[in-house]
Amino acid sequence: MMSLLTRKPRSQSAAPGRHDLEPLWFEWLALGGLLVFATWLLGMRGVWALLLTSDPTGLTLVIIVVFAASTLWCGARSRELQRQRGLLVEARQHRPNEGWASEYLAALAARPRDADAPLDLLMEQTHGPHHTAWWVNGIQLKLGLLGKVIGFSVLALNIGQIQNFDPTQTQDLLKSLTTGLGIALLTTMVGLVGNILLGLQLTRLDRYADALVSDCQRAGLGASSRDESH
């Protein structure tokens, strides 16, 4: 009991931030492994062949390519954010480096005319690329909706071309009608799934970037208080 009462608290500058041990890069690797396994499993079940052959517009393939490229970008971004988090720890230990945190602390120490400029530059580095990524995430949903519109348009055109109903042509008629309905449903489904999975990754990146900015500001406040004490 006495040892707990007499234990000295660590200084704020030396204490690691609450996000120091968050393995963002390994989290993405785990998610990437699950996605690779799901891709292999769906391929073995013949789902990919069904999706690609049932969509003559090619929008399903475009959505899949956009999602795959965006997921790889999220992996590279998560690795960079985790690296910058490690450079922040080094900057707190007064070890110079070329990280975003060191640039931010150096800008604060220079006391620029625009006091908000260092934080604005830091926000651009940590959050700027994510705005484009969120726009790409919305593109997946819009492509799915475009496929839905095209599918229902094909369905409406096929219905409009019916002159008379011949019972002997029922099979061909149903096949032509379900083509448009299949395009609408498949593209919408693939777009929604891609939007949800990529949005999950981008939300995690945004939260990690928010924590990085807050820890940089905390380090800047600690540096300012030390300068004022001297």
Greater confidence, 14 or 126? 126
Q: Look at residue 7 and tell me whether its pLDDT is greater than 50.
A: no
Please state, as a whole number, how many other Cβ atoms lie within 10 Å of the Cβ of residue 47: 13
- Residue indicated by tokens 């971004």: 77
pTM, rounded to two decimals: 0.80
Confidence of residue 39 (pLDDT cuts 50, 70, 90): very high
- The C-alpha atoms of residue 205 and residue 200 are separated, in whole angstroms, by 9
Confidence of residue 120 (pLDDT cuts 50, 70, 90): confident
**Average pLDDT value for the chain:** 81
- Given a contact cutoff of 8 angstroms between Cβ atoms, the answer to whether 175 and 154 are in contact is no
Sequence-ordered strand ranges (E) for 35-99 = none
